[in-house]
Amino acid sequence: MEYGFTTAAYVVASVLFILSLGGLSGQESAKRAIWYGIAGMGLAVLATLFGPGAGNWFLSLVMIVIGGTGGWIVAKRVQMTEMPQLVAAMHSLVGLAAVFVGFNAQIELARVMRARLEGVETVWTGFAALLASKTSAEIAMLKIEVFLGVFIGAVTFTGSVVAFAKLSGRVDGKPKKLPGGHMLNAGALALAVLFGILYFTGVGPGVFWLIVITLLAFFIGYHLIMGIGGADMPVVVSMLNSYSGWAAAAIGFTLGNDLLIVTGALVGSSGAILSYIMCKAMNRNFVSVILGGFGGETGPAAEIEGEQIAIDADGVASALNEADSVVIVPGYGMAVAQAQGAVSELTRKLRAAGKTVRFAIHPVAGRLPGHMNVLLAEAKVPYDIVLEMDEINEDFPSTDVVIIIGSNDIVNPAAQDDPNSPIAGMPVLEVWRAKQVFVSKRGQGTGYSGIENPLFFKENTRMFYGDAKDSINKLLPMID
């Protein structure tokens, strides 16, 4: 009866998770999708707590209270601009959990095998009872699952920690590799496989081999992500999301938990698909992403001629008042300045004046997929005027004014013109084809990715320096 209830609950939870993922494809359906996910997770936790083999309810309750309280506090404190690094931090916890589960499984397995060898009759409970019921072939498969869970989890943990540090500005966003580059990663991987074979064949203490494998995987995760530049961090976050899913699936196999297998596979596959889609949007090779082999320069960048010409709020407002069509390109700078509210108000005033206003969203704008869409929806910008790159790129030549708010790489013409640029070949928003371009930017620096942008030096571009929120607020009273 208990197994039937747990299985039924897991099936319902799996369906809810699938509905949640499917609903996230649209801004309106996403509101429902979040509740599907919450309900599915709540049901999954209850089914696990009261399912067969469960125990230590008091300790479990304490852990749930501590984790839930911590999650609530973090959710209340984290700003929308900090969501990318929060997601990376959550991925690291999933990876670390996989490592802990793998080590616990090996410790319990060692106890069971020792009792078998000594011929000791023991009444096993909990996870040990599951291990005791396994055949030799099933134990061999379990060891493979433990190896994969620990390895993928450890790579995910350190990779996500480095991603968090880069996204939060604690580590320089430029790609960095140790001498030897990819050969170091390949060597560490080969050693991990070798030690995995020794672990599988039972040569020496299993925990020792797992420790060595974990340390090697820690290095691989660290070195992979350190070698990726800031311009490519949105893809990195998506990739780590996939890794965390496969780590969770490996945990599910180890624990014999069908729901973890299903949800881990859902997260892993959806993260991989999203990474592939984003790689296509950035003209990157998917295998190179997985191996951490992109984000660096291929040669000396082309020299940029001209100078950056500044403009004040009066000049921008005058151009907006005379324009018939306006396209706004938001980027991470808008998020940092929390300018989405001011941008929404500017949009309302321009539309009230009879002007056509639209937003151009690049697939990797910001530091997290969909980041800009969420910010604009939060500010109540109408969904129907928020367009993807492919929908709006051909309209720039007929656009009177483009306002760029805190974007750099996604509007960089070097992607098309300079084969030595780190973003060479990446599809970008061709804003320079518009009649006038205004760039809202704090200063003359190259920004997070460290890539110079020739757009800022073009004749039809003017630099509107200052904090994005303050700059947009200055424009509001001047719009007729």
Whole-number pLDDT of residue 295: 44
Whole-number pLDDT of residue 299: 55
CA atoms of 107 and 458, how far apart (whole Å): 64
Question: Could you tell me the pLDDT band of residue 296, with boundaries at 50, 70 and 90?
Answer: very low
User: Annotated catalytic sites, by residue?
Assistant: 409
Highest mean pLDDT: which range of 3-7, 304-308, 325-329: 325-329
**CATH number for region 313-478:** 3.40.50.1220
What single string gives the DSSP state of each residue in 165-221?
Answer: HHHTTSS-SS----TTTHHHHHHHHHHHHHHHHHHHHT-S-HHHHHHHHHHHHHHHH
Nearest to 156 by CA among 241, 49, 81: 241
Whole-number pLDDT of residue 1: 45
Between 42-56, 157-171, 255-269, 342-356, the lowest mean confidence (pLDDT) is in 42-56
pTM: 0.79
Q: Which residue has the higher pLDDT, 117 or 242?
A: 242
For the chain, give percent helix, strand, coil, nearest 5: 65, 5, 30
* pLDDT, mean of residues 38-64: 83
Domain boundaries, the chain: 1-77, 80-290, 313-478
Whole-number pLDDT of residue 321: 95
- Does an H or E element contain 328, and which? strand 325-330
Burial state string for 183-201 with b = 16 or more CB within 10 A and e = fewer than 16 = ebbeebeeebeebbeebee
List of residues 6+ apart from 459 with CB closer than 8 A: 306
Whole-number pLDDT of residue 477: 94
Evaluate whether 434 touches 360 at the Cβ level (below 8 Å): no
Between 84-88, 297-301, 327-331, 390-394, the lowest mean confidence (pLDDT) is in 297-301
| Residue 438 β-bridge partners | 403, 462
Whole-number pLDDT of residue 175: 76
CA atoms of 405 and 439, how far apart (whole Å): 6
Distances (CA, A) of 267 to 115, 243, 260: 38, 9, 10
Q: Which DSSP symbol is given to 310? A: B
pLDDT of 221 strictly over 90: yes
Tokens describing residue 33: 């999708």
Between 7-16, 36-45, 71-80, 227-236, the lowest mean confidence (pLDDT) is in 227-236
Question: Could you tell me the pLDDT band of residue 182, with boundaries at 50, 70 and 90?
Answer: confident
List of residues 6+ apart from 90 with CB closer than 8 A: 244
323-373 residue pLDDT tens: 999 999 999 889 888 899 999 999 999 999 999 999 999 988 877 777 888
Q: Are strands 436-441 and 325-330 parallel, antiparallel or unpaired?
A: unpaired
Between 381-390, 408-417, 418-427, the lowest mean confidence (pLDDT) is in 418-427
Distances (CA, A) of 254 to 54, 226, 248, 412: 16, 30, 10, 47
